[in-house]
Amino acid sequence: MTHAWKGTLIAPTTVAGVLAVLPDYEAMLLSILDAILERFEHNPSYRFIDTKLNIITGKDLPELEDRERDFKGKSAIYGWIQGRGLEALAGHAAWISAGSFLSPSQKEDYRGRLTRMVQAVFDQMEGIRAKDGGHLSFVMTTDGRSVGLGPDGRRVYLPPNSGYTTGSDVFYAKGMFAAARMLGRPDKVAEACRLFRTIVSDIEHDRCRSEQIEFDPKESRVPQAGRREHGWRMIAILGFAVLAETLGDEEWFSGGERFIRYVLDHHINLGQWPELERYDFVEAIDAAGRPWRQNGAILCDPGHALELIGLAAKFLLVLQDKPLRTASQDALLARCRETFPRTMLHVFRSAFNRQVGGICKSFDLVARKPLNSDMPWWNLPETMRAVAELLVLGPDDPDRFEILQVAADCSNAFVRNFVNRNCHLMAYQTVDAQGRPVDVIPATPDADPGYHTGLSIIDFMASARRLAKPSPLSARFGR
């Protein structure tokens, strides 16, 4: 790899302008991957993915003397991070193998290091999962005890899982499948598929729980009876995309179709809620299927809406390439080609901070203004993935120029406001409405393990290169 990261901006907004920034993103992803690998290799007794970094300072998160108050140091293991991280490491291994930006010897070196790390982390996590009936929790100790946050700020040790699906299970099933395939473990591939089937059933029967601890005082995670979010369906759609693409079984195509239709029918306003604007995306509904109201507000999490569209588009691209499709599948493709670009543009127009550059954390669809004006990093690369995939999915979209502009706006905001050149080119977790990095944790204290910043950008780059292939589309967009 000879290209050094330069902070290139997309200008002009053409396919050629997008292609010009891709070497920067390759350099960024390798820099982040190097940091993750080196941190693991420098502490071989700690068999977890370690991204316990404060991106603002570049220093490790502190280890508290009182372990019972420590939710940031190495004694606190996050199921989300380990599951996402396994999926990301396997995805980076495949990306490196297929790319042309490294020499054969460099590729072989990365493959060896990644295989060793994935094997160690996978074995460790499988041991932990076995202690809790095949489940993981949001926070665990290094020996696998589930941890909650007590009212006094100290750890509360949770009882063993009684058989329900957790949010960490949803992430881990995908990471388990990716790791098992990478390591050549057909027994674990089959087990991951069985786990994912259970997860799908639990999501559809409202049996998926999350012990997520909210570290951001502006956000609330208090369980509310009757409130139904789309989030676990969103994450599962990515699982369906991967399983359908790699295994080809009709079961996974059918599940992905079913989950996408659910979101289309229950979370996007296509005229059924006259009090809202067309293409509003509601984060949660009530038991009657109406938008969930809290203190008069109807919440849209713009990042979740845009991420959902990107993950659904990833599945739809697999469906589009399916040799034999049913009439129902063709109808779904046509419906999504119409609805998703309109929804993406509508959400983005509402949520993007044009003065600074970034997407707000939450937006009130009643007052038509941000509820939380802070801007997390992850929604920008997720939107870039969504945009590039939508353009591949619908090359004749009438709004294709504005859609491509969204990719430019997100990439330029990410480069200007979020990338820390002094910390492995990792992204600040949050910047405020004035564009200043702030010490706000969107989900976990651990930095991204190559999941949002890595896998979404890998998909963005792949779709951008598909757009650049000689075709009438290239002429329409400009080269």
Determine, yes or no, domain membership for 56.
Answer: yes
Residue 339: pLDDT above 90?
yes
Determine, yes or no, domain membership for 419.
Answer: no
CA 72 to chain centre: 21
Residue 444: pLDDT above 70?
yes
Region 50-71: what's the mean pLDDT? 94
1 falls in which pLDDT band (50, 70, 90)? Answer: low
Determine, yes or no, domain membership for 471.
Answer: yes
Helix (H, G, I), strand (E, B) or coil at 147: strand
**Amino acid letter, residue 267:** H
Residue 474: pLDDT above 60?
no
Q: What is the pLDDT of residue 77?
A: 97
Q: What is the pLDDT of residue 472?
A: 46
Determine, yes or no, domain membership for 386.
Answer: no
Determine, yes or no, domain membership for 335.
Answer: no
Residue 327: which H helix or E strand, with range?
helix 327-351
Q: What is the DSSP-derived secondary structure letter of residue 330?
A: H
Residue 479: pLDDT above 60?
no
- Domain of 464? 1-216+445-479
**Amino acid letter, residue 375:** M
| Cα dihedral value 388, 386, 366, 295, nearest 10 | -160
Per-state percent for the chain, helix, strand, coil, to nearest 5: 50, 10, 40
471 falls in which pLDDT band (50, 70, 90)? Answer: low
| Residue-wise pLDDT tens digits, 157-200 | 998 887 889 999 999 999 999 999 999 999 999 999 999 999 99
Determine, yes or no, domain membership for 333.
Answer: no
Determine, yes or no, domain membership for 134.
Answer: yes
Quick check: 228 and 198 in contact, CB under 8 A? no
Q: How many domains does the chain have?
A: 1
| Residue-wise pLDDT tens digits, 399-424 | 999 999 999 999 999 999 999 999 99
Determine, yes or no, domain membership for 178.
Answer: yes
Give CA–CA dist 137/167, Å, rounded: 8
Residue 475: pLDDT above 90?
no
Cβ-in-10-Å burial (0-12, 13-18, 19+) of 328 comes to exposed
Q: What is the DSSP-derived secondary structure letter of residue 453?
A: I
Q: Minimum mean pLDDT among 124-128, 199-203, 207-211: which range? A: 207-211
The mean pLDDT value of the chain amounts to 94
